[in-house]
Amino acid sequence: MNSVIHEKYTVAQDDFANAGKASSHIKEHLKEIGVDPQVLRRIAVACYESEINLIIHAYGGDINMDVFDDGSIQLVFKDKGPGIDDIEKAMTPGFSTASEKARSMGFGAGMGLPNIKRVSDEFDIQSSPEGTTITLLFRESK
Amino acid sequence: MRKSAVIYTLDSCVKCLKCVRACPVSALTMNADSRIEIDGEKCLNCARCITTCHSKGLLGQGSTLEDIPNYDYSICMVPPALINVCSTKEEADEMMYAIKQLGFDEVVDISPVYGQIMNEYFNLADHYVEGTMITSFCPVVNRYIQTKYPMLLDNLAPINYPSEIAAKMIREQHKDKGNVGIFHCCECEALLELAKYPYLNEEYETDHALAIVDIFPKIRKHLKENKMKCDYNLQGLQSVNPSMILQKENYLIADGFEKITNILDLAEFDMLKDFKLLYLFACFNGCVGGHLLFGNSYLYRNNVYPLTKNGSSEVTSLPFDDIYSDFISLNAEDKRSFKEKMAFFAKVNEQLEKLPGYDCSACGLQTCRIMAEEIAKGNKTLDHCHILALAKEKENETT
């Protein structure tokens, strides 16, 4: 499986002003390539949620997108900490550690990670105090 | 081939490229002969190019009244946006009479149809279980979704345009009158398309689409002459006016192109799932802000208040099996394989890196990205970029 298209975006902590910009670029580019709308819808949802997570919960991080030659699309969200204490708890619908500021802006409903997992074809999460890495894979059709 | 309702008038064009840059879907280009070309397959008929132009280089063209004698019986449909121009019930009655004087056998106010459709939107949205329903009053919004937002196609309310439903009803009611001609007074360029003429769109029930600005000078001559009873429907008048539509916790009503773009972008991220209904207008101030409606849309917006004193709020029922219509993707099927698509995308990106990225449109194309696509297709070369040419010239001067 070779990566044909690679794109990297950097997201800063608490940068609410630019929330969703990276996801918008990714969405537009994948539209341009001609990814199936149903698949793209799942990617858009997962990507936006994850980008918001980097802003709200992490000390910022990077988004790496790869389109492979078999048509699958991989998104890797790698942040610089602080890590997730209890991944199992974080994966429970409704559980949230979002700040008041984030909640007042309509984020932090506790559906982030469960939603991301639900819409992606493969989901992997690795976390330590140095940082969390979430790897998502989407295939042409689910 | 679809034709845009926007016509280019070469004579007054000053080649400033403002229209090319204003288009939200990159449908305009300036060709090698310095003429503006409009890609009918892409154009939304949103009229942003027309309103941006300072030299009357573009206009929305409708049918003419000369076609009235071609029919045994001619009927003019008056939309609620035009009634909203009147500030009293008397003015509305005078307007109906004046329109009839243009030579029509009958003038029909179609605001009850609008009112009924709005209620049907509410009804559909409240019972829609698959998320958010997007309404389909505005041909610009629909076409925008049908070409640019494939992910939201399933959310479009499957209801036909009011003018079409009204035309079907009118034709049914007058089937004993011989060859009936149905004319529609249009408040915006996008509505001009929804008729057989002038754009030869045979699939529509309406025969002729008239631009209100074209016929208004003639209407004006007959204003204040006499009255003809206009039983406008209040909900119909409200349905085209974003500030008057039922405000509810889970309804989002928005007008203006920037706003709807923003809303559709968020809807694609599923960020508006708390709303049951997105009621969108491409024009600022809704249909009363239509570009073919002369005058001041802020005043028209508030005319609903005085008109409310005399209007009917009873809504006639429509033949319900005849109001539905599905909206499908308007993009030609891409026959390329995923591999070919990606290879092309990579090739475009490679060319894009070589271009300045100013999106100045000096080459006649809207953005550097479109230029990169044209180079990748082999239609253009980097030499067509004016900025690069300028840089080259400077370099030659110094050496």
Q: What angle do CA B249, B254, B255 make, to 5 degrees?
A: 160
What pTM does this model have? 0.90
Q: Are residues B151 and B210 in the same domain?
A: yes
Q: Are residues B5 and B44 in the same domain?
A: yes
Handedness of CA B119, B121, B123, B125 (dihedral sign): negative
Contact assignment for B270 to A41 by CB distance below 8 Å: yes
- pLDDT value at residue B320: 64
Residue B336: closest C-alpha in chain A: A34
Q: Calculate mean pLDDT across residues B182-205.
A: 96
Contact assignment for A33 to B342 by CB distance below 8 Å: yes
SS3 assignment, position B156: strand
Q: Are residues B30 and B146 in the same domain?
A: no
Burial call A86-112: b when 16+ CB within 10 Å, e when fewer: eeeebbeeeebebeeebeeeebbebeb
Task: Please report, for the domain that includes residue B30, its CATH number.
Answer: 3.30.70.20
Q: What is the pLDDT of residues B18-67, one digit of tens each?
A: 999 999 999 999 999 999 999 999 999 999 999 999 999 999 999 999 99
The alpha carbon of residue B70 is apart from the nearest alpha carbon of chain A, in Å, by 47
Handedness of CA B127, B128, B131, B133 (dihedral sign): negative
Q: Calculate mean pLDDT across residues A3-12.
A: 90
Q: Are residues B137 and B29 in the same domain?
A: no
The alpha carbon of residue A83 is apart from the nearest alpha carbon of chain B, in Å, by 25
DSSP string of B318-329, one letter each residue = P-GGGSB-----
Q: Are residues B260 and B120 in the same domain?
A: yes
Helix or strand run (H / E) with residue B289: none
Residue B335: closest C-alpha in chain A: A34
Cα B93 to Cα B78: distance, rounded to the nearest angstrom: 12
Note down the domain range covering B350: 336-399
Q: Are residues B199 and B138 in the same domain?
A: yes
Q: Are residues B76 and B208 in the same domain?
A: yes
- pLDDT value at residue B336: 86
Q: Are residues B197 and B124 in the same domain?
A: yes
Tokens 């004016």 locate to B386
- The answer on pLDDT for A142 being more than 50 is no
CA nearest neighbour of B281 among B243, B247, B249, B248: B243
Contact assignment for B342 to A45 by CB distance below 8 Å: no
- The answer on pLDDT for B377 being more than 50 is yes
Contact assignment for A45 to B265 by CB distance below 8 Å: no
Number of domains in chain B: 3
Q: Which of B156, B263, B265, B270 to mutate to test the interface with A (most CBs of A within 10 A)?
A: B270
Residue A25: closest C-alpha in chain B: B265
Cα B107 to Cα B119: distance, rounded to the nearest angstrom: 24
Greatest CA separation found in chain A? Answer: 43
Q: Which of B146, B148, B151, B264 to mutate to test the interface with A (most CBs of A within 10 A)?
A: B151
Tell which of B13, B37, B60 closes a domain: B60
**What percentage of chain B reaches a pLDDT higher than 90?**
81
Residue A67: closest C-alpha in chain B: B342
Q: Calculate mean pLDDT across residues A121-132.
A: 93
CA nearest neighbour of B213 among B186, B240, B181, B184: B186
Q: Are residues B268 and B299 in the same domain?
A: yes
ipTM: 0.80
Q: What is the pLDDT of residues B112-151, one digit of tens each?
A: 999 999 999 999 999 998 889 998 889 999 999 999 999 9
The alpha carbon of residue B349 is apart from the nearest alpha carbon of chain A, in Å, by 10
Cα B157 to Cα B167: distance, rounded to the nearest angstrom: 20
- The answer on pLDDT for B85 being more than 60 is yes
DSSP string of chain A, one letter each residue = --EEEEEEEEE-TT-GGGTTHHHHHHHHHHHHHT--HHHHHHHHHHHHHHHHHHHHTSS-EEEEEEEETTS-EEEEEEE-S---S-HHHHTSTT-----HHHHHTT---S-HHHHHHHH-SEEEEEEETTEEEEEEEE-S--
Order of strands, sheet of A122-128, starting from the edge strand that comes earlier in the sequence: A3-11, A61-68, A73-79, A131-138, A122-128
From chain B, the residues in CB contact with A32 under 8 A are 345
Beta-bridged to residue B37, according to DSSP, are B29
From chain A, the residues in CB contact with B336 under 8 A are 34
Q: What is the pLDDT of residues B86-118, one digit of tens each?
A: 999 999 999 999 999 999 999 999 999 999 999
Q: What is the pLDDT of residues A57-87, one digit of tens each?
A: 889 999 999 999 888 999 999 999 898 888 8
- The answer on pLDDT for A95 being more than 50 is yes
Report residue B43 as tokens. Answer: 């154009």
Amino acid sitting at position B217: P
Report residue B15 as tokens. Answer: 């080649």
* Cβ neighbour number for residue B383 with a 10 Å cutoff: 10
Contact assignment for A34 to B343 by CB distance below 8 Å: no
A38-42's contacts with Cβ under 8 Å and 24+ in sequence apart are A38/A141, A38/A142, A38/B151, A39/A73, A39/A138, A39/A139, A39/A140, A39/A141, A39/A142, A40/B150, A40/B151, A41/B151, A41/B268, A41/B270, A42/A119, A42/A120, A42/A138, A42/A142
On whether the A3-138 domain is CATH 3.30.565.10, my answer is yes
- Contact status, residue B19 vs residue B13, Cβ threshold 8 Å: no
Q: Are residues B287 and B146 in the same domain?
A: yes
The alpha carbon of residue B140 is apart from the nearest alpha carbon of chain A, in Å, by 20
From chain B, the residues in CB contact with A140 under 8 A are 338
Q: What is the pLDDT of residues B285-341, one digit of tens each?
A: 999 999 999 889 999 999 989 998 877 777 767 766 788 888 888 888 888 888 888
- pLDDT value at residue A108: 65
Tell which of B42, B60, B78 closes a domain: B60
**Is the CB of residue A111 less than 8 Å away from at least one CB of chain B?**
no
- The answer on pLDDT for B229 being more than 50 is yes
- The answer on pLDDT for B4 being more than 90 is yes
Contact assignment for B265 to A34 by CB distance below 8 Å: no
Report residue B81 as tokens. Answer: 């946006």
Contact assignment for A33 to B269 by CB distance below 8 Å: no
Cα B154 to Cα B270: distance, rounded to the nearest angstrom: 13
Q: Which of B268, B345, B349 sits opposite A44 (nearest CB)?
A: B268
- Contact status, residue B196 vs residue B207, Cβ threshold 8 Å: yes
- The answer on pLDDT for A109 being more than 70 is no
Residues 326-345 of B with CB under 8 A from A: 334, 336, 338-339, 341-343, 345
Tell which of B43, B60, B77 closes a domain: B60
Q: Are residues B187 and B143 in the same domain?
A: yes
- Contact status, residue A1 vs residue A68, Cβ threshold 8 Å: yes
DSSP string of A76-110, one letter each residue = EEEE-S---S-HHHHTSTT-----HHHHHTT---S
Cα B289 to Cα A11: distance, rounded to the nearest angstrom: 40
Residue B332: closest C-alpha in chain A: A34
Q: Which of A4, A45, A140 sits opposite B342 (nearest CB)?
A: A4
Contact assignment for B269 to A23 by CB distance below 8 Å: yes
Q: Are residues B185 and B248 in the same domain?
A: yes
Q: Which of B269, B338, B345 sits opposite A48 (nearest CB)?
A: B269
Contact assignment for A44 to B342 by CB distance below 8 Å: no
